[in-house]
Structure 1
Amino acid sequence: MDLQHALQGITCPVVTPFDDAGAVDDDAFGDVLEHLLEHDIDGVFPCGTTGEFASLTREERRRVHELAVEHVGGEVPVLAGAAATSRSDVLAYAADAADVGADAIVVTPPYFHTANDPTGNQQFLEEVADRSPLPVLLYNIPVCTGGRLEPETLATVATHDNIVGLKDSSGDLEYFLSVMRQTPDDFCMLQGYDALLVPALRMGADGGLNALSNVAPEAYGDLYETFDEPRGEALQDAIAPLFDACVSYGFAPATKAALEHRGVIPTDAVRPPLVEVSEDSRPAIASAVDGLLESGP
């Protein structure tokens, strides 16, 4: 699969639904994927931040990736979350993803033991890419990893044959543009911070990888098609209240509450240390969802 072409659009970091007993809900996960495919999503990314990967066992991650591959049936690429704190664990997740037929893996820099020098991240990512059986999409999310991938580091690793691009969820547009300037044209740049999607696309981003595309994939697809028009600006404004809710309550809890309101999943259950959105806050999320859908096609 030509990932550079396939990822030009909106890819969704898919939620991982849980049942009332706290287990991964296979049927609800399938319902989310069907919801996304019905609204022409361009790719799916299970076991990312919004997918609560850090709360899943290795066996659960493999199963979620397997379900995603089976459900999409090659219609769109499956990017498998493989973030971990050691190279051996990342490569184990990569091997599992390859076994079930995923198209690429997504890798953050190590967290907890963060790099004491940018060279450490460079070596980590290059060694993972050298040995990964699948192409590697990098993921910059400093709020969760404790440090960012420096533009100079990305300029170096972007020439690796097995590294295809970057999802940036830093919320720093200047950083995003700096990376774009320092990396080759075929290095895929995906904006992961929903509030910056239109500005990033207007400056040349290849696409978006956005949590709230779980909730309103049709609105995100419309935004991608119209980002350089007033319509795109209006959709970006319509996304803002729901994005603000995610910032306040957490992306997985708020996204699941929004999906429950829309009737896509039966429950918004999350795993500790996350907690569900409080009852008092649900009306605001419901109102934001309704407003976004009303602005859609």
Structure 2
Amino acid sequence: MSPTTNGHYAPRDPTLISNVHSNSYSNALLHAHTDLDSGAYTHRPLVPGVYVPTVCFFNDITEDLDISTIKKHAVRMAEAGVAGITTQGSNGEAVSLSHRERRLVTTATREALEAAGYHDMPIIVGCGAQSTRETLELCHDALLSGGDYVLVLPPAYYKGLMSNTDLYEYFRDVADESPLPVLIYNYPGAVSGLDLDSDFISKLAQHPNIVGCKLTCGNSGKLARVATATNAATPSDIGSGFMAMGGSADFTLQTLIVGGSGVIAGLANITPKACVAIVNYYAQGKIKEAKRIQARVAQGDWAAIQGGLVGTKSCLQTFFGYGGYARKPLPRPASEEAIRWERAFQDVVDLERTL
């Protein structure tokens, strides 16, 4: 769709946005079908809730993809009640994978969900790269691998040479050409401190193929402004269908209170039920219960933030019997460090086991 004469896209029409649901979320899910020869594709709709950016798993010796564990983990997440899965995110070590491996991870995830009966669960695929061309290649790979949406970081290697206009045109060009709807990914820590502001995101949100954002910046004020500007979907109101998502579990409740749609939360790899419980309690109006769970989740998320992939995988190995290690050169924790992460995550894992 072309922009209007003032350079902005026409306001989003809720009847035309492909991820807008009916008033009953329980009846909103649509079966996806892909006919690549004819070009027809119906993606699974996004609903407010918890999305988990899944960890990637490798053979401890060869560092080859551990497909069976990737599949097992995806099904565990689905069984816990998450609204969807994100592959190729920061937790998924996308920067350490070849294009072929990225396709394999998403394909394995889709196959596992289908085999377990979760036909309607959407998959968001991380597709950010340093050029518009490669980003679009990844977007097409995401479609072929069974993805429904793409999550796109801004390019930052040449940050000093790019203006806001250049960045805007990058997202616009990707959205114009991507075969899948786009979510904007704002994560300053991964892109040399580049932090997209609420005006920038809200302007891009007018593009008909941009259907959401993930704010790992942790700025709930920014999230509130974007949610208001886009009339974002919430657990109780479909709004425009735009998904204004927080980027970590430690501000799940805050995200919901300011009008956001949910979270894409790395801690959900460890405690998906606890993260989902916050959303469910909020949706039921049980704010006291939601605050109680949020407090313990926030403490657990602090351990995940401190330990990153190393701590998260160590926790999975200790408490759930799988996890392994990140690809080199990321370190493998010594036994003393593994004990440290066990202690740091113990309380939130105990909480998870009560749910």
| TM-score of Structure 1 vs Structure 2, range by shorter chain | over 0.9
- Provide the rounded CA distance (Å) in 2 between the counterparts of 1:225 and 1:288: 26
Point out the structure with the larger helix share. Answer: 1
Matching residue's letter, 1:195:
D
**Aligned mate of 2:96, from 50, 55, 72:** 55
Q: Give the gaps of 5 or more residues in structure 1.
A: none
Structure 2 residue aligned with 1:262, among 302, 314, 319?
Answer: 319
The 2-side partners of 1:184 and 1:157 are apart by 14
Contact 1:8 1:207 survives alignment (8 Å): yes
CA positional deviation for 1:202: 1.2
The normalised TM-score by structure 1 is 0.93
On the 8 A contact 2:270/2:349 being kept in 1, the answer is: no
Contact preservation (8 Å) 2:132, 2:174 = yes
Kindly indicate whether residue 287 of structure 2 is the aligned counterpart of residue 226 of structure 1.
no
* Equivalence for 2:55: 15
Deviation at 1:184, TM superposition (A): 4.0
1:217 Cα offset (Å): 0.9
Matches within 5 A, 1:190-269: 190-227=245-282, 229-250=287-308, 252-265=309-322, 267-269=323-325
Is the CA contact 2:184–2:213 (under 8 Å) kept in the aligned structure 1?
yes
User: Residue 127 of structure 2 contacts residue 150 of structure 2 at CA under 8 Å; is this kept in 1?
Assistant: yes
Flag the 1:4–1:50 CA change in 2: closer, same or farther, 3 A.
farther
Once the two structures are TM-superposed, the CA of residue 109 in structure 1 deviates from its matched residue by 0.6
Change (3 A) 1:231 1:295: farther
Distance (Å, rounded) in 1 between the aligned partners of 2:333 and 2:297 = 19
Question: How many positions carry a matched residue from both structures?
Answer: 295
- Structure with the bigger RCO (C-alpha within 8 Å, sep 6+) is 1
1:89-130: CA deviation from partner (whole Å, max 9, x where unpaired): 111111111112211111011121226321111100000000
Indicate the larger mover: 41-50 or 267-276. Answer: 267-276
Alignment of 1:134-173 (within 5 A): 134-146=180-192, 147-173=194-220
Tell me how large the CA RMSD over aligned residues is.
1.8
TM-score, structure 2 normalization = 0.79
Give the AA of the match of 2:143. A
Structure of greater Rg: 2
Q: Does 1:43 align with 2:90?
A: no
Q: Quote how far apart the aligned CAs of 1:4 are.
A: 4.9
Unaligned runs of 5+ in 2: 1-16, 22-45, 233-239
Q: Distance in 1 between matches of 2:86 and 2:93?
A: 12
Give the structure 2 partner of residue 295 of structure 1: 351
CA contact (8 A) 2:249 2:275 kept: no
Matched, 1:31 2:72: yes
Q: After TM superposition, give the deviation of residue 2 of structure 1 in Å.
A: 5.4
Answering whether residue 156 of structure 2 is matched by residue 111 of structure 1, we say yes
Q: Percent identity?
A: 25
Counterpart contact for 1:11–1:209, Cα < 8 Å: yes
Distance 2:281 2:340 in 1: 27
Provide the residue aligned with 2:121 in structure 1. Answer: 76
User: How far apart in 2 are the matches of 1:184 and 1:273?
Assistant: 43
Alignment of 1:182-193 (within 5 A): 182-185=229-232, 186=240, 187-193=242-248
Matched residue SS, 1:84: coil
Q: 1:215 to 1:3 in 2, by over 3 A?
A: farther
Deviation, 1:65, is 0.9
